[in-house]
Structure 1
Amino acid sequence: MLAIPMFRIPDVNDTTSQLPPSQNAPVAASLLLACSAAGDLQATLQILNAVYYGTKVHNMPKAAEIARLFTPKDISDCRKMLEQLAEGKDGKPGATGDANAMTLHGKFLELAGNREEARYFYEKALGRYDTKVWRGYPHPMALPWLTPWTELVSLEEASPTPSVEKMTEALKFGALKADDPMAYYKLATLQDSKTSEWLTYMSKAAASGHPEAMFKLGQFYHEVQAQPSNFSKNTGFKKALNFITSWRRNAAADFGKEWLNAAATGGHKPAMMEMAQIYERNKQEDQAKSCLEAVVIAPPNGIPEEWPHLVMQAKQRLAALQSTRRQLA
């Protein structure tokens, strides 16, 4: 699929304006359209994922850039092809098409207000989803593909009476069979309280790089350090935590700090604030200052600030630190 990486070829920065505009993107768009018209799944998904992710709510400039290359008729033709790929040879009854096509088709149906039809395709996609990893599929430079368990859970959460059972079933597929970190995290959040299952799911999500899971896990181990008796009474927890609590004093707190630091390094501002507090308690003012300064940095590319209240708190604490230093000078 040559067309997908062609979108990533940077244009020459011609300050003299003597070179003609690059044709990489238009040629790539033409190739994608031709492949989609021939029934190619990856081409169809790339075009329509660009349309989906290109809206302001997703803040994906590259997707918006790709989407602008296609006319309304192009998009309409791709939508028809997507429907064919989703429904399969038999058409709608039984829906025997590709699971990835079903998921994106379901998303467009959901956005159009047809929630029940969307649910039908999400559920069908979940049943037909191939969890095997195929080299080069999807293309590593392709826009992200939607997953049926994520969309099914999102749809269920938005319903008047969400079913935890249905969400759990979908997420267990995504987590235990497809090894999706987000599914592990969501599965952990559905637990009534912190249990050994919660720890297993949250640890898996954190180990896969999920920043919020890292943060939650860091907080959890600090709770274990502060109140070990609350967790030692639970047989499942006792077994899971034995390797942490038995080999070194304050090991749980140190482990929690490592997870918080990992989350902070990944740009998670609540974790940065927690790390700043830890450094302040340990009289490590320079490290605390660095964490607080990282919190106040604005997100790139005009992305809205996710934690404006933390930015305000960080500014206040930076001012307090600076004031204290002046008094001591």
Structure 2
Amino acid sequence: QEHRTALDKRNRQAYYRMVHADRLLPCKLEDANKAIDQFMINKKANMDPATNARWVAKKFNMELIHLPMLAIPLFRIPDTKDASGLPASQQATVGAAILLACSAAGDLQATLQILNAVYYSSNGYNIPLAAKIARYYSPNDINNCKKTLQKLAEGEDGKAGATGDANAMTLHGKFLELEGKTQEARYFYDKAVEKYDLKVHRGYPHPMALPWLTPWMAFVSLERSQPEPSHAKIKQALEFGALKADDPLAYYQLATLQQEKTPTWLAYMNKAAASGHVEAMYTLGKFYISVGEQPSSYLKANFEKAFNFMMYRKDGGPSHLGIEWLRAAGLGGHREALDELA
């Protein structure tokens, strides 16, 4: 066991060194392992989890919000080849304990990391990391995290005011939906859109964290599930997500609401594809190939400005651009794109 502990510590230090190089470590590099070790010492001494999280953060000159940034990378540290014959690595176990303690202390990111893992792994999302994280938590742990989430969503004024964090409101709404409380969920989605922080904060949430659900897409999903969905409300929510929050998924969904193969449709689809939406890449690939085959029909449809730059390219024009988009989609795992390129 001592050999395993030493190996974990060595691997963790090497991994933290890479994280530190990307300026994503919330403390001095030499303090990262010390903070982990101190947390585990306190845990073995049966210190209250929330107290432990606050105490360790303070000791190493961090805020509570920084401690989950040490825990989140632990789930991604690969074991080394010389680990054969040793007990299993404890990296993820340690990370899970730190996240749970931070959630008990009221930290948003830790709570979302745990409950996003629970939500994704139990609702059909193909995110292996979510399943890996979720299995470390008991039903009692999850219930306690949900209580913290509710407090973070409701804020100081309680549900009537819903003055809490927009990201907490969104995930809380998702769990309310699972309980059949769709009206309450809608209320929190509406409030979350109102309070959503459009600023980009470098390193927060941690880039290795599970993706945070967005309130506009949560609202759209709920609205579309209704017997008579409001297309106007769906469009309004998607416009917020796309035009204000620059969300590629919202851009793609908004594009699908436009008349196909029009300049507005193309602008939205381009935004989605450029931000990494694989289906949008595939759609653009097919579109530009069709433009290359029949350019005159598109030039008559108000696409002159959009296509002017490519019609005289020496590399093949629209058709070549279409192939490039198909390749990008294929690299993203899009099966139909790979078939088109075969």
What secondary structure sits across from 2:273 in the alignment?
helix
- The 5 A counterparts of 1:196-275 are 196-235=263-302, 237-246=303-312, 251-275=317-341
1:106-155 deviations in Å (ceiling 9; x for gaps) = 01111121111111111111111111111221011111111111111111
- The 5 A counterparts of 1:1-329 are 1=68, 2-12=70-80, 17=85, 19-55=86-122, 57-235=124-302, 237-246=303-312, 251-275=317-341, 291=342
- Partner Cα distance (2:178, 2:139) in 1: 17
- Partner Cα distance (1:249, 1:32) in 2: 52
- Partner Cα distance (1:44, 1:249) in 2: 50
Contact 1:203 1:217 in 2 (8 A): yes
Q: Which residue of 2 aligns with 1:282?
A: none
1:247-269 deviations in Å (ceiling 9; x for gaps) = 56952222222222222232212
What secondary structure sits across from 1:161 in the alignment?
coil
Residue 15 to residue 40, structure 1, CA distance change in 2 (3 Å): closer
TM-score by length of 2: 0.75
- Partner Cα distance (1:273, 1:117) in 2: 44
Gaps in structure 1 of 5+ consecutive residues: 276-290, 292-329
- Partner Cα distance (2:167, 2:232) in 1: 24
Q: Which residue of 1 aligns with 2:37?
A: none
What secondary structure sits across from 1:220 in the alignment?
helix
Q: Which residue of 1 aligns with 2:35?
A: none
Contact 1:261 1:272 in 2 (8 A): yes
Identity of aligned residues (%): 63
- Partner Cα distance (1:64, 1:71) in 2: 13
1:286-324 deviations in Å (ceiling 9; x for gaps) = xxxxx3xxxxxxxxxxxxxxxxxxxxxxxxxxxxxxxxx
- Partner Cα distance (1:162, 1:94) in 2: 26
Cα offset, 1:56, TM superposition: 6.5
Contact 2:252 2:272 in 1 (8 A): yes
- Partner Cα distance (2:280, 2:333) in 1: 13
Residue 9 to residue 263, structure 1, CA distance change in 2 (3 Å): closer
Q: Which moved more, 1:1-10 or 1:84-93?
A: 1-10
- Partner Cα distance (1:185, 1:241) in 2: 20
Q: Which residue of 2 aligns with 1:288?
A: none
- Letter of the 1:65 partner, please give it: K
Length, aligned pairs only: 274
Contact 1:110 1:118 in 2 (8 A): yes
- Partner Cα distance (2:309, 2:261) in 1: 18
- Partner Cα distance (2:327, 2:74) in 1: 37
Report the aligned-residue RMSD. Answer: 2.0
- Letter of the 1:141 partner, please give it: M
Contact 1:164 1:190 in 2 (8 A): no
Residue 140 to residue 15, structure 1, CA distance change in 2 (3 Å): closer
TM-score by length of 1: 0.78
- Letter of the 2:320 partner, please give it: D
Residue 272 to residue 238, structure 1, CA distance change in 2 (3 Å): same
